[in-house]
Amino acid sequence: MLLGNRLSVVAATALVAGCATTSRLPYPVTRQSDQMDDYHGIKVADPYRWLEDDNSPETKAWVEAQNKVTFGHLERIPERAVIKHRLTKLWNYERYGVPFKQGGRYFISKNDGLQNQSVLYTMTSLEAAPTVLLDPNQLSTDGTVALSGYSITDDGQLMAYGLATAGSDWQEWKVRDVRSGQDLADHVRWVKFSSASWTKDGGGFFYSRYDEPAAAAKLTRANYFHKLYYHRLGSPQSEDKLVYHRPDHKDWNFYGGVTDDGRYLVITATQGTDPRNRVLYQDLQQPDSPVVELLMDFDADYSFIDNDGPVFWFKTDLNAPRHRVIAIDITKPERANWKEIIPEAAETLTRVSTVNQQFLCSYLKDARSQVKVIALDGSFVREIALPGIGSAGGFGGKRSDTETFYSFTSYTSPGTIFRHDLKTGTSTVFRQASVDFDPEDYETRQVFYTSKDGTRVPMFISHKKGLKLDGTNPTLLYGYGGFNISLTPGFSVANLAWMELGGVYAVPNLRGGGEYGKPWHEAGTKLNKQNVFDDFIAAAEWLIANRYTSPKKLAISGGSNGGLLVGACLTQRPDLFGAALPAVGVLDMLRFHKFTIGWAWTSDYGSAENPEEFQALYAYSPLHNLKSGTKYPATLITTADHDDRVVPAHSFKFAAALQAAQAGNAPALIRIETKAGHGAGKPTAKLIEEAADKLAFLVHHLQVRVPETYR
């Protein structure tokens, strides 16, 4: 199928209060070129290739014109103002990060409610008054500078911290004196996909970066040749020591971490987003010691946990699809000497930490959190009781600590921070969020449905209690399905507002995720990617068959890889949905690998440069499967001008093609946020505006009645 035969202008819906009647509203005319590419003998048109140049005056004018149409449409929705007002009220609650202890001090982040960015605090004890260590809100007038990461020295005296501007993945790192709150002169730039790890003496830290890009291409150029450096405190970045790189492997990324005892630098080498990795190490007690290759077969995932002298503990899926824990003595690293400490369980092991001379193991049991305490010899100690069906995160600390902290959240309860005493085995509430709603008015249940090929798939369904199954409920189906990422229950103000409006919120755990380990992930990758879309479509059909909703009341949503999911299902089953919200999506599956870090996703997607994989990609690529003359559901595409993860060209080209193909009266709009990126670090004000736009769009086009009590 070629993309050359497109309509240049198509009618969109105009708004009449209370209904979705139509009149003609022309979109901006999008120029089409005669660009044609040859993929293994198949000619594929790409008439909107020029939109890939985000710096061109023509693209900028197109963005401005599209936003004018989109925001004009959204602002005329009568319910938008009251929805934004309610969102603002709900969002205005204190929320906390999980605290941790370092050098006799505690560190915790907090947002008062409507602050654009959370503030980092420190305190000398849990009872002491917290003092501000870093307030990102003071770094910009609009909240678009975000704290992207931080690392504290072993003695708690210094903090290296990263800043990201306007949502970009690029970071700059600085150093702050914890006691005085003053910055030192250190400044490290062009950091990406990296944290900072201090040496035991606090004399410097390890970090990873790319070479400085040309200014015009910094948001689009492919990122290759990651390098691991050591920055010595007080020296300029130009003097930083290159610790490790591989010019013979441009697609290897490096992450360096110092062990808690300060003895070793452990280097994890990844290749794209493939769960498999390599591991190297360096003995920091020996000056200029070589980097030693430990695990270089690239045969499994090896996640370093901790070490006991020369014995390294790893979480791995080697011969254990749901992961286990093994011990490797680096003085005799041959595989015959490896020891299994914690065997594979029925549940999926997702994270392991060592606190109180014990392993704290986080598992997923049908996408719900389960946490077990296991002795260092592998014997079971106990399970940590959690409040219900939800997600628990945290459980950090040092092996000598006797306490740990964790958060617990669900679809109907905001995050609560607990302190867990590992001596007594008791958890107590440390901080609890208070949001303007009653959780007892809502419920979440987990169901299992059958996908197209007979696979059993779990799905969480949340809504107000007393829901009538009469097929009329507005329903939002959200999914992801990729990169070994698990979707677990979590609280969202926007989703709560949707449920307040009488909406149903449904989240299926699609193949491609990590909920059931390696086989579940691989069943949704490369030539198997269609399984993910089949799972999502089957979830929609189950909700309709069980009278939760109907096609005209059903919306689908997803971001990034989830944006691909929405785009693919939108093109494959336009009849099944009343609205679609693809966010920052990967929508051009033939060219995604040519921009920024897109090449890394070929481990999940495959590549159009491979003939067999091209056929699979071309078969579902959302951009290439839009058909002129088709009635597509109301669609609001969202992206941002500083998204250098999934470049906005994906959304630009898809929007242009969808507008040209649309034969129905439903709108095909694109909302392009400025001074924002893929999502991380987005200011609260922008989050509220975007949520208000999306909910108003759904309310209008699914014809949801806003109750008087909501107003």
Task: Render 555-589 in DSSP notation, one character per residue.
Answer: EEEEETHHHHHHHHHHHH-GGG-SEEEEES----T
Please indicate whether residue 13 or residue 575 has the higher confidence score (pLDDT).
Answer: 575
How high is the pLDDT of residue 4? 32
C-alpha distances (whole Å) from 363 to each of 94, 530, 638 are 28, 27, 33
How many Cα atoms are found within 13 Å in the side-chain-facing hemisphere of 681?
A: 28
Whose structure tokens read 């159009």?
A: 608
Whether 187 sits among the annotated catalytic residues: the reply is: no
Residue 341 lies in a domain: no
Picking from 59, 12, 55, the residue whose alpha carbon sits closest to that of residue 33 is 59
* Gyration radius of the chain over CA positions: 25
Mean pLDDT over residues 89-100, rounded?
Answer: 96
Residue 292 lies in a domain: no
Q: Sign (positive/negative) of CA torsion 194, 196, 197, 203?
A: positive
> Each residue of 172-204: pLDDT tens digit?
999 999 999 999 999 999 999 999 999 999 999
Q: What is the rounded end-to-end Cα distance, in angstroms, of the chain? A: 48
Across all residues in the chain, what is the average pLDDT?
A: 94
Q: Sign (positive/negative) of CA torsion 510, 513, 516, 520?
A: positive
Cα–Cα dist 494/500, whole Å: 10
Residue 539 shares a structural domain with residue 654: yes
Contact 278, 241 (CB under 8 A): no
Whose structure tokens read 């023509």?
A: 58
Residue 687 shares a structural domain with residue 641: yes
Residue 171's Cβ-count burial label (10 Å; 0-12, 13-18, 19+) is buried
Q: Residue 17: pLDDT above 70? A: no
How high is the pLDDT of residue 678? 84
Residue 401 shares a structural domain with residue 519: no
> Each residue of 118-128: pLDDT tens digit?
999 999 999 99
Choose the catalytic residue: 560, 603, 621, 651. 560
Contact 220, 644 (CB under 8 A): yes
Cα–Cα dist 56/197, whole Å: 40
Residue 428 shares a structural domain with residue 463: no
Q: For a pLDDT cut of 70, what percent of the chain falls above it?
A: 96
What are the tokens at 48?
């909107």
Residue 241 lies in a domain: no
> Each residue of 487-545: pLDDT tens digit?
999 999 999 999 999 999 999 999 999 999 999 999 999 999 999 999 999 999 999 99
- pLDDT band for position 16 (cuts 50, 70, 90): very low
Task: Render 599-665 in DSSP notation, one character per residue.
Answer: GGGHHHH--TTSHHHHHHHHHH-GGGG--TTB-PPEEEEEEETT--SS-THHHHHHHHHHHHHB-SS
Q: Residue 111: pLDDT above 60? A: yes
Mean pLDDT over residues 359-387, rounded?
Answer: 97
Q: Sign (positive/negative) of CA torsion 104, 110, 112, 115?
A: positive
Q: For a pLDDT cut of 90, what percent of the chain falls above it?
A: 92
Helices (H), 189-340: none
Residue 78 lies in a domain: yes
What are the tokens at 505?
């919120």
Cα–Cα dist 370/384, whole Å: 8
Residue 496 shares a structural domain with residue 639: yes
How high is the pLDDT of residue 9? 27
265-270 own/partner pairs: CB under 8 Å, 24+ apart: 265/197, 265/206, 266/304, 266/312, 267/228, 267/243, 267/291, 268/302, 268/304
- Residue range of the domain that includes 579: 36-89+437-710
Residue 124 lies in a domain: no
Contact 604, 527 (CB under 8 A): no
Residue 409 shares a structural domain with residue 507: no
The residue type at 47 = P
Residue 357 shares a structural domain with residue 495: no
Residue 469 shares a structural domain with residue 529: yes
Cα–Cα dist 312/335, whole Å: 13
Residue 607 shares a structural domain with residue 566: yes
C-alpha distances (whole Å) from 621 to each of 488, 571, 585, 617, 663 are 27, 9, 11, 6, 20
Residue 415 shares a structural domain with residue 459: no
How high is the pLDDT of residue 677? 83
Q: How many CB atoms lie within 10 A of CB 63?
A: 20
Cα–Cα dist 596/217, whole Å: 9
Residue 458 shares a structural domain with residue 371: no
Task: Render 533-558 in DSSP notation, one character per residue.
Answer: HHHHHHHHHHHHHTTS--GGGEEEEE
- pLDDT band for position 679 (cuts 50, 70, 90): confident
Contact 461, 539 (CB under 8 A): no
Q: Which of residues 399, 414, 435 is at a domain's end?
A: 435
Q: Sign (positive/negative) of CA torsion 327, 330, 331, 333?
A: positive
* 314: β partners: 304, 326
Which helix (H) or strand (E) element contains residue 86?
helix 80-91
> Among 157-161, 466-470, 672-676, which stretch is predicted with the lowest mean pLDDT?
672-676
- Work out how many domains the chain is built from and give that number: 2
The residue type at 546 = N
Q: Which of residues 435, 465, 491 is at a domain's end?
A: 435
Cα–Cα dist 171/164, whole Å: 5
Please indicate whether residue 15 or residue 694 has the higher confidence score (pLDDT).
Answer: 694
How high is the pLDDT of residue 144? 93
Residue 235 lies in a domain: no
Residue 476 shares a structural domain with residue 623: yes
Whether 700 sits among the annotated catalytic residues: the reply is: no
Choose the catalytic residue: 323, 463, 650, 678. 678
Mean pLDDT over residues 128-136, rounded?
Answer: 96
Picking from 476, 489, 466, the residue whose alpha carbon sits closest to that of residue 414 is 489
- pLDDT band for position 19 (cuts 50, 70, 90): very low
Contact 150, 163 (CB under 8 A): no
Q: How far is CA 196 from the centre of its chain?
A: 20
Residue 16 DSSP symbol: B
Contact 511, 517 (CB under 8 A): no
C-alpha distances (whole Å) from 661 to each of 35, 73, 131, 136 are 18, 20, 56, 44
Mean pLDDT over residues 432-450, rounded?
Answer: 95
Picking from 66, 59, 67, the residue whose alpha carbon sits closest to that of residue 216 is 59
Residue 185 lies in a domain: no
The residue type at 265 = L
What are the tokens at 232?
């010595």
Q: Sign (positive/negative) of CA torsion 489, 431, 94, 87?
A: positive
Helix (H, G, I), strand (E, B) or coil at 167: coil
Provide the CATH number for the domain around residue 632.
3.40.50.1820
Q: Which of residues 435, 467, 497 is at a domain's end?
A: 435
Residue 648 lies in a domain: yes
Which helix (H) or strand (E) element contains residue 60?
helix 57-75
Q: How many CB atoms lie within 10 A of CB 175?
A: 23
> Each residue of 580-621: pLDDT tens digit?
999 999 999 999 999 999 999 999 999 999 999 999 999 999
Q: Residue 15: pLDDT above 50? A: no
Cα–Cα dist 385/114, whole Å: 32
How high is the pLDDT of residue 217? 86
**β pairing state of 456-464 and 504-508:** antiparallel
